[in-house]
A = this chain, B = another copy of it.
Amino acid sequence: MAPTRIDANTSGVYIISPTPFTDQGEIDFASTDRMIEFFIEKGVTGLTILGVLGEAPKLSSSEAQAFLKHVMQRVAGRKPVVVGASNPGTDNLVRFAKEAMDLGAAGLMIAPLSGLKNDDQVYAYWEGLFSRLGADVPVCYQDYPQTTTVFSSVAVLNRMIADFPNFVMLKHEEGSGLPKITKLREHAEQGKGRRISILVGNGGLYLPQELRRGVDGAMTGFAYPEMLVGVCEHFAAGRPEEGEDLFDIYLPILRHEQQAGFGLAIRKEILRRRGAMASSAIRHPGPKLSARDHQELDELMARLERKLKG
A residues apposed to B, CB below 8 Å: 25, 55, 57-62, 88-92, 95, 113, 117-122, 125, 128, 132, 145, 151-156, 175-176, 178-179, 182, 205-206, 209, 212-213, 241, 244, 247-248, 251-252, 255-256, 259-263, 283-285, 290, 292-293, 296, 299-300, 303
Can you report 30 A-B residue pairs in the complex whose CB atoms are below 8 A from each other? A57-B88, A58-B88, A58-B91, A59-B89, A61-B61, A89-B284, A90-B283, A90-B284, A91-B283, A91-B284, A113-B285, A117-B151, A118-B151, A119-B119, A120-B155, A125-B285, A128-B284, A128-B285, A132-B284, A176-B262, A178-B259, A178-B296, A205-B255, A209-B300, A212-B299, A244-B252, A248-B248, A248-B251, A248-B252, A251-B251
**Known contacts A151-B117, A285-B125; A293/B248 CB under 8 A:** no
**Known contacts A120-B155, A156-B119, A283-B91; A290/B248 CB under 8 A:** no
Contacting residues, chain B, for A303 (C-beta < 8 A): 241, 244
> In the complex the two chains form, what is the Cα distance from A263 to B175 in whole Å?
11
**Known contacts A90-B285, A293-B178; A119/B153 CB under 8 A:** yes
> In the complex the two chains form, what is the Cα distance from A89 to B156 in whole Å?
28
Contacting residues, chain B, for A205 (C-beta < 8 A): 255
B118 touches A153 (CB 8 A): yes
Contacting residues, chain B, for A292 (C-beta < 8 A): 179, 182, 213
Closest to A213 in B: B292
> In the complex the two chains form, what is the Cα distance from A305 to B165 in whole Å?
45
Given contact pairs A120-B154, A128-B284, enumerate 12 new A-B contacts (beta carbons under 8 Å): A25-B91, A58-B88, A117-B153, A118-B118, A119-B156, A176-B260, A176-B263, A178-B262, A178-B296, A179-B290, A179-B293, A213-B296
Contacting residues, chain B, for A128 (C-beta < 8 A): 284-285
Closest to A112 in B: B285
Contacting residues, chain B, for A212 (C-beta < 8 A): 296, 299
Shortest Cβ gap from A63 to chain B (Å): 8
A57 touches B152 (CB 8 A): no
**Known contacts A90-B283, A90-B285; A120/B255 CB under 8 A:** no
Closest to A284 in B: B90
A259 touches B176 (CB 8 A): yes
Shortest Cβ gap from A145 to chain B (Å): 7
> In the complex the two chains form, what is the Cα distance from A248 to B252 in whole Å?
7
Shortest Cβ gap from A174 to chain B (Å): 9
Shortest Cβ gap from A159 to chain B (Å): 10
> In the complex the two chains form, what is the Cα distance from A261 to B177 in whole Å?
10
B176 touches A209 (CB 8 A): no
